[in-house]
Amino acid sequence: MTAATDTAVETKRLNYLAAIREAQIEEMERDESVILLGEDCEVGVFGTTDKLDEQFGTNRVRTTPVSENGFAGAGIGAAMTGLRPIIDLTIAAFVYVSMDQLVSQAAKNRYMFGGQARIPIVFRAAMLYGGNAGAHHSDRPYPLFMNTPGLKVAVPASPADAKGLLKTAVRDDNPIMFFEDQTLWSQREEVPTSSEFLIPFGQAAVKREGSDVTLVAIAGSVPRALKAAKLLERDGISVEVIDPRTLVPLDWDTILASVEKTGRLVVADPAHLSCSAASEILATVAERAFSSLRVPPLRVTTPDMNVPFAPSMLVGFYPDPDRIAAGVRKVVDHG
């Protein structure tokens, strides 16, 4: 069963974190080669791994020393010997500590060894931006890994997508960077209960159909883009909202088809402006669908500066419904 073929399925209401926990449990029950490694795995700082050692044993659920480069490397080695590790890096900013293993080993080994070794591993990383966590804990580093051949990148924006994409990631024979958006943790929705609920990578979701503007929204910007679309509807502006769900691979067909229909493009991306996912989407659309664009495309992102701690300085810092709506109005007013 995949998300694309579901018709009438049993569901239960889960929040984002509970959906991730359920995905891990189902995959560990299905396949004994799936293991969990990471800081505080037995405690489960965010509630996605706590007490799983009691269910699956400490051979499969291991709390590691606080050494991201060390346990990321251990996970890569385990993957090369036939296991399917899920590495809980806890906070997305901790990926920097493990960059050598992620970029020099996980991303390259299958290629360097001529396909003799598979690297079926998932690196989970929680993006804690938007909650006054300061510069060290507020990063959204997924654009870095879009520029690293050999890695796939997922950015689920709903509980159902978090479950379906994580299960797909665990079954993939390639290394996956799985970025979880903390601003969505409390979001609840009906999530399929089937253990075979899978969402394919490279398949975007059209969250709202429209005819005037294509609005591509990434991670936590998705619900904000939908709110902006509702605001704009009052002004007679019809917005098509697209959630890519994965950035590598990226569903260009859906994005390009929408731009060809609307003639306008806005991308809402909570990462920094320069070299962002938004930048790549604008550049590719300009290359491949330039004749369809009526006006220059536009990015709504986070400024190129370190994230401040003061709550007053975070007002309007990230893409919010008002900033996104203003961007859409700008391209509509342009022509």
| DSSP notation for 8-24 | S--EEEEEHHHHHHHHH
Rounded distance between C-alpha atoms, residue 258 and residue 243, angstroms:
12
Query: Using CA atoms, how far apart are residues 60 and 32, in angstroms rounded to an integer?
Result: 8
Cα separation, 75 vs 83, whole angstroms: 9
Which residues are identified as catalytic? 137
Q: What is the secondary structure of 48-65 as a DSSP string?
A: SSTTHHHHH-TTTEEEPP
**What values do phi and psi take at 180, rounded to 5?**
-110, 130
Picking from 253, 243, 264, 261, the residue whose alpha carbon sits closest to that of residue 288 is: 253
Q: Which residues pair with 34 in a beta bridge?
A: 84
- Neighbour count for residue 230 (Cβ, 10 Å): 13
Nearest to 278 by CA among 333, 323, 230, 322: 323
